[in-house]
């Protein structure tokens, strides 16, 4: 295997993002294949006993076992790191494997974590139900409130953890401020950037230490595989994340890594076009529904902050109907768009968070997080925007809006 370009990492780092997305991290075998090869192998063989010893001792480069290294997986990791502007990246089987690994690898009994209230349901579940079992305390804050982060700090605070935009309330976190407070207090900031991806938002530029992904969403972008990734400095990945990951084994399958690798080639085109379609639909819907939250519209209370952090506002927004019954009737009236809880897909998908993705938070938790009974979250796809608008228009009319 050799680097396809014959170029070193310093050169590929200087490529512009679109070039990195298509060529970054590519290795080629002796066959000179155009598209990255898929290595479905769990193990490796060696020329002689001395070289396997040298590899295990770390004196010789090369693969030893696919829980530790796999060429296809490494191509994906290098490409994500380049696109993120991060020194290093490691991938995991799912977004939740990535979040769990990013948190558990660095937290110990007696530590304290501060996390944003509005978050993906399973992220909150880990903080409330897994970390607490191992003696890791938490404070949950309104992530939009800059002062709340500082007030929550204790002498044992190790990690700040948040999403921006948050799922599904579209809350925006002031990253420069919150990451700055963390840095000043020796706290590691972990940002779940699944909604935006590095194409729309580069968290490291705002002072984040670790960026974690559900690559299931926009990175794959075509609803095919589950995948996750964690990016950080070379030192943090090698010294903090890797000892945990190599021994606990949350690895992505090489086939799934390959799918995401191919997805990244079109990520920028999809993310920008889906953002454009979402903006057109949100503009159309704004006067039709009681309330709509899209960071790309001036009516979003944190519009200016969102647009200072993001290149475009992404494919996802939320809107509010009267109650659960009206929300469900609207979903049932759709003819083109699908009812689905996935996001980032090239198809337009709608879901009712209170009864699905955020069901496990309980009624009280949802009320506190602003996940109302009439709320619907939409992922706007790559269909012709006029067809999406027509479908939503028809469904809203059917429920009397």
Give the residues lining the site for ligand PLP (CB under 6 A). Answer: 94-96, 99, 120, 123, 163, 167, 192, 194-195, 214, 216-217, 226, 228, 343
Rounded to the nearest whole angstrom, what is the least distance from the CB of residue 343 to ligand PLP in the complex?
Answer: 6
Rounded to the nearest whole angstrom, what is the least distance from the CB of residue 298 to ligand PLP in the complex?
Answer: 25
Closer to ligand PLP by CB, 63 or 218: give it.
218
CA dist., res. 243 & res. 1, Å (int): 26
> Got the DSSP string for 88-107?
EEEEESSHHHHHHHHHHTT-
Closer to ligand PLP by CB, 12 or 348: give it.
348
User: Hey, which bits of 302-393 come out as E strands?
Assistant: 316-320, 338-339, 349-351, 375-379
Q: 85: helix, coil or strand?
A: coil
Closer to ligand PLP by CB, 195 or 236: give it.
195
Rounded to the nearest whole angstrom, what is the least distance from the CB of residue 8 to ligand PLP in the complex?
Answer: 33
- What count of other Cβ atoms lies within 10 Å of the Cβ of residue 246? 14
Cis, bond preceding 165 (omega within 30 deg of 0): yes
Closer to ligand PLP by CB, 210 or 343: give it.
343
Rounded to the nearest whole angstrom, what is the least distance from the CB of residue 92 to ligand PLP in the complex?
Answer: 9
Rounded to the nearest whole angstrom, what is the least distance from the CB of residue 120 to ligand PLP in the complex?
Answer: 4
Closer to ligand PLP by CB, 268 or 345: give it.
345
Closer to ligand PLP by CB, 326 or 357: give it.
357
Return the residue nearest ligand PLP (CB atom). 95
Rounded to the nearest whole angstrom, what is the least distance from the CB of residue 30 to ligand PLP in the complex?
Answer: 35
Alpha helices by DSSP H, 286-384: 303-309, 324-332, 362-369
> Got the DSSP string for 6-65?
---HHHHHHS-HHHHHHHTT-EE-TT--SSPP----SB---SSHHHHHHHHHTSS-S--B
CA dist., res. 381 & res. 395, Å (int): 17
């Amino acid at each position: 295997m050799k680097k396809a370009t014959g170029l070193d990492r310093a050169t590929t780092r200087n490529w512009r993002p679109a070039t990195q997305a298509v060529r970054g991290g590519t290795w080629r075998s002796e066959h000179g294949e155009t598209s990255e090869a898929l290595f479905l192998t769990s193990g490796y063989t060696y020329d002689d006993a001395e070289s396997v010893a040298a590899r295990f001792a770390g004196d010789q480069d090369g693969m030893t076992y696919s829980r530790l290294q796999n060429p296809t997986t490494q191509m994906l990791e290098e490409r994500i790191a380049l696109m993120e502007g991060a020194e290093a990246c490691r991938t995991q089987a799912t977004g939740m494997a990535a979040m769990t690994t990013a948190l558990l690898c660095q937290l110990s009994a007696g530590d304290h974590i501060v996390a944003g209230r509005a978050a993906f349901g399973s992220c909150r579940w880990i903080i409330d139900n897994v970390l607490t079992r191992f003696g890791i305390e938490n404070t949950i804050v309104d992530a939009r409130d800059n002062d709340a982060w500082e007030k929550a700090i204790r002498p044992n605070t190790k990690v700040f953890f948040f999403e921006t935009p948050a799922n599904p309330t579209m809350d925006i976190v002031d990253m420069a401020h919150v990451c700055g407070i963390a840095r000043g207090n020796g706290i590691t900031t972990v940002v779940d950037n699944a909604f935006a991806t590095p194409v729309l938002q580069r968290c490291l530029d705002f002072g984040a230490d670790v960026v974690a992904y559900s690559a299931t969403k926009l990175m794959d972008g075509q609803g095919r595989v589950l995948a996750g990734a964690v990016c950080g400095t070379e030192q943090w990945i090698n010294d903090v994340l890797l000892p945990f990951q190599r021994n606990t084994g949350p690895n992505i399958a090489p086939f799934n890594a390959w799918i995401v690798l191919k997805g990244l080639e079109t990520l920028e085109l999809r993310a920008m076009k889906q953002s454009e379609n979402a903006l057109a639909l949100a503009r159309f819907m704004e006067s039709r529904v009681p309330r709509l939250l899209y960071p790309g519209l001036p009516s979003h209370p944190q519009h200016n902050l969102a647009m200072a952090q993001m290149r475009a506002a992404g494919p996802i927004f939320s809107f509010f109907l009267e109650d659960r019954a009206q929300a469900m009737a609207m979903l049932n009236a759709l003819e083109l768009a699908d009812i689905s809880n996935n996001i980032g897909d090239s198809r337009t998908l709608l879901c009712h968070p209170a009864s699905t993705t955020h069901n496990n938070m309980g009624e009280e938790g949802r009320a506190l997080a602003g996940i109302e009974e009439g709320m619907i979250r939409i992922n706007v796809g790559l269909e012709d925007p006029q067809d999406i608008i027509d479908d939503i228009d028809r469904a809203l009319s059917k429920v009397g809006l």
